[in-house]
Chains A and B, each alone.
Chain A
Amino acid sequence: MSHDMRDDIGSKMGMWIFIFTELFLFGGLFLVYAVFRAKYSADFHVAAEELNVFVGTMNTVILLVSSATVAMSITAIQRGNKKLAMRFIIATVLLAGVFMVNKYFEWGHKFEYQLYPGSEVMKNMEHGEILFFSLYYMMTGLHALHVIVGVVLLAVVFFRVKQGVVNSDNYVFLENSGLYWHLVDFIWIFLFPLLYLVT
């Protein structure tokens, strides 16, 4: 097959369609959330008090900033500034790392208090509270998995930029990785208020 005609728009379209599938994947969980929030609004309120709004807000800020840094890495590569692009990608990955560390401590803290599906403490809680925590773990867990995938993707693109394979004339791989990363951020934008800010 001749690859003399590279199709960047097609490549981008492929990534967008993949993003749509991810949106619908999480969408199923959001649907479950919506159903049970409507049914158990009081229980959700009580359960959400166990979540640390400060940590959640910090994580939100971290992801928003990381979205900006990856977007800036694209600007950098478009302008031919290879070093700056690499720095922005590293910044994105580091921010992702902090996010994951936060998450690790968040979850760990809850495990300490036996707040996980199937525990004795959980069995004694109200139905709505049980479901809230199940949703919390499943949604943030699935999200964290996607953060990891995003980090791997960004690591790969970092090396491609370093090698010059991704450059100012050929940066669609960076763009697509950026799109994926923005998806991770986009999902968290909705997760955060729905899980942490249930008044």
Chain B
Amino acid sequence: MNDKKKHHISSYNSHLVVLIALLVLTTITVLITEINFGTFSVGVALAVAMIKGGLVLTYFMHLKYDEMVFRIMVLLILLLFAIVVGITFIDYFLR
């Protein structure tokens, strides 16, 4: 099955922009740890990590421009992982 449609080519620039965003977010996450969020620290760190991970998935790994089947698969497996962790904590948090 040779695909006749032209593949999207990401420009060097777009990669650079994404990299800068990732570096900025990294800086933020390091600085933020100086501030103590208490029990929310994990949440904040994870939130930033998720944004960074999302950028890597969407742009570097080209999910934004590839066929939808890939986006669906990635979303579903991330969801599955989250659910499994959540169910495990029904045990650990409520013992």
Contacts and interface: CB of A to CB of B under 8 A. Distances in A.
Interface of B is mostly: helix
A53 B61 CA distance: 27
A175 B8 CA distance: 13
A28 B11 CA distance: 36
A182 B3 contact: no
B73 A16 contact: yes
B36 A9 contact: no
A38 B43 CA distance: 12
Contacts of A53: 30, 33
B79 interface: no
Contacts of B67: 9
Interface in B1-59: 1-3, 7, 9-12, 15-16, 18-19, 22-23, 26, 29-30, 33-34, 36-37, 39, 41-42, 45-46, 48-49, 52-53, 56-57, 59
14 contacts: A5-B2, A12-B70, A23-B77, A31-B84, A31-B88, A41-B39, A68-B15, A68-B18, A68-B19, A178-B61, A185-B60, A189-B56, A190-B49, A190-B53
Given A75-B12, A182-B61, A194-B46, 19 more contacts: A6-B2, A9-B3, A16-B74, A20-B73, A23-B77, A35-B88, A35-B92, A60-B26, A67-B60, A71-B15, A75-B10, A78-B9, A175-B62, A178-B61, A182-B57, A190-B46, A190-B49, A193-B48, A199-B34
Interface of A: 5-10, 12-13, 16-17, 20, 23-24, 27, 30-31, 34-35, 37-39, 41, 53, 57, 60-61, 64-65, 67-68, 71-72, 74-75, 78-79, 175, 178-179, 182, 185-186, 189-190, 192-194, 197-199
